[in-house]
């Protein structure tokens, strides 16, 4: 599955548990948050003031290492 900014945090973590490390490394509180089912990756990038391309590249790297 190709990751995109419209996916929810829940979808990503459900399908790619190792991606939790990307959130932990950035001290993001998304893992375990009840809103993860509703917040998209684009939402959290904006909320945390992150660079979207860099964040998505990090997630993609973790996902590729799983497979």
Domain assignment of residue 34, yes or no? yes
Give pairs for 37-45: CB < 8 Å, separation 24+.
Answer: 37/8, 37/9, 37/10, 38/8, 39/8, 39/9, 40/5, 40/6, 40/7, 40/8, 40/9, 41/3, 41/4, 41/5, 41/6, 41/7, 41/8, 41/9, 41/12, 42/5, 42/6, 44/9, 45/5
Domain assignment of residue 55, yes or no? yes
Domain assignment of residue 3, yes or no? no
**What's the whole-model pTM score?**
0.90
Domain assignment of residue 2, yes or no? no
Total number of domains in the chain:
1
Q: What's the pLDDT tens digit per position in 10-65?
A: 999 999 998 999 999 999 999 999 999 999 999 999 999 999 999 999 999 988 88
Domain assignment of residue 52, yes or no? yes
* 66 band by pLDDT with thresholds 50, 70 and 90: confident
pLDDT score of 1: 66
Q: Where in the sequence is the domain holding 62, given as residue range(s)?
A: 9-66
> Is a pLDDT exceeding 80 seen at residue 67?
no
Domain assignment of residue 1, yes or no? no
Domain assignment of residue 37, yes or no? yes
């Amino acid at each position: 599955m190709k990751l995109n900014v419209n996916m929810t945090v829940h979808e990503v973590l459900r399908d790619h548990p190792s991606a939790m490390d990307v959130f932990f490394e950035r001290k993001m509180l998304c893992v375990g948050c009840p809103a993860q089912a509703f917040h998209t990756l684009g939402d959290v990038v904006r909320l945390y003031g992150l660079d979207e391309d860099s964040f998505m590249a990090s997630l993609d790297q973790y996902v590729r290492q799983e497979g």
